[in-house]
Amino acid sequence: MVLEVAYSHDYGDALSKSILFFEGQRSGKLPPNQRMNWRKDSALQDGFQIGVDLTGGYYDAGDNIKFNFPMAFSTTMLAWSVLEFGKTMGSEQQHALEAIRWATDYFLKATSIPGFVFAQVGDPYSDHNCWERPEDMDTNRTPYAVSKQFPGSEVSAEIAAALAASSMAFRPSDPVYSAILLKRAAMVFEFSDKYRGSYNDSLGPWTCPFYCDFGGYEDELLWGAAWLFRATKATYYWNYVVKNIHNLENIITKNINGVSYNGGSFAEFGWDSKHAGINVLVSRIMKNSSSSDPFVPNADNFVCSLLPESPTKSVSYSPGGLLFKPGGSNLQHATALSFLLVVYNRYLKQADRVIHCGDVVVNRARLIQVARGQVDYILGSNPLNMSYMVGYGKKSPQRIHHRGSSLPSIDKHPQHMDCKDGSSYFESSNPNQNLLTGAVVGGPDINDSYADSRADFVHSEPTTYVNAPLVGLLAYFKSNSSP
């Protein structure tokens, strides 16, 4: 039974905090206007051992590795949030653009050598063996790149998508920077398409099992092309999408580390699978209705896969109403899929039509209702009356799986802390030392319970790709109490 309780949420406050979170994830030399001031400079030598400046960017979660594949997806989603809902962000739009630029400045560095795209900085195994502040890192900071000889189409094409989407976000306020991003996006996309292959094959020992590409790289190529078409209106990219979209119709089975995985489908969207995002994005940008197949039907099918009343529903819901899909950090699904519902609602309004899920007729107000239900659940409308955003509401997670948040700040403990010096803080039942304001954790289990334990990282670890789509959702609901 879905909880039917009326709650009132301050979406504006939640929006501010959801963007502030990204300042807590920053790597590199922090700017004078850094607001989350318990964080300090970190990883200032990244790339220097090979003569490349790879400082900056974001740590993906509660560790100190820079994984460029999920970082790029988070950047694409932040940019899409600004493109769709920037006008309703108010003063927070500037902070959102600063969050995007922190990533795009880094991606310009990571793609600065022709024929190479850096995909990761840091050795995840040595990093995950330590519990130390990013400011103290003494683990191996090896940079890993894909190249002509060792391709990585998924990470390259996702970076291209991030640069293209971001170029549009900056176009009104900084046209020079926007043009630089767009030019680089086209170059990186050409590289990703010309030298096709998965970075699992070249960088698997270091990217797996953390961010293996389970769904194939074909969706990222289409995603990158779709964003480049939206940014340039160049026929080449439109033709590329139309010509290659049928590559996604087959479910791809991949063998990764001896385990068999089925690739994505029209119902998938997240850092690994872009399928539903491609269909929704293309449905928003195409001018010729005769080209609607298969984009619009697949986007409709995606909506039908989510709605509780749909005969083709392929997700689960907790008793309290939270959407669940397989895969760790479940709130990534609740935020990313809800974001698509809100964006697709705008397309339905433009086209003045409804969706048919078998015999069930779905109007666009229903999409907003479902998305709002997920956002409200995250903010506290749930059986525990608990917000899953740190620092929002009367009750929120206290012991998140996050090194910097759990350890004393440099201000309080200026002495260096070695690899294992933080273990006692990890094992402690005390609340974290520093508030990672705005961080959204992996969330409760399917029975709506939450342990609030650092060790339970699947549920207690925040990630950039949970927060990024939520930024757009909160901006929408801040100014739209009804569709």
Active-site residues: which are they?
Answer: 401, 452, 461
Token pair for residue 433? Answer: 């030392």
Q: Which helix (H) or strand (E) holds 476?
A: helix 464-479
Token pair for residue 5? Answer: 């309780």
CA 108, 112, 118: angle at the middle one, nearest 5?
Answer: 80
For residue 145, the cross-strand partners are 118
For residue 253, the cross-strand partners are 262
Q: In sequence order, which ranges of 286-330 are alpha helices (DSSP H)?
A: 295-306
Helix (H, G, I), strand (E, B) or coil at 73: helix
DSSP 77-114: HHHHHHHHHGGGSTTHHHHHHHHHHHHHHHHHHHT-ST
- Least Cα distance to 47 among 98, 113, 3 occurs for 113
DSSP state of 26: B
- Please state, in angstroms and rounded to a whole number, the distance separating the CA atoms of residues 419 and 460: 21
- Please state, in angstroms and rounded to a whole number, the distance separating the CA atoms of residues 396 and 83: 30
Q: Which helix (H) or strand (E) holds 186?
A: helix 175-194
- Please state, in angstroms and rounded to a whole number, the distance separating the CA atoms of residues 297 and 291: 11
- Please state, in angstroms and rounded to a whole number, the distance separating the CA atoms of residues 134 and 58: 11
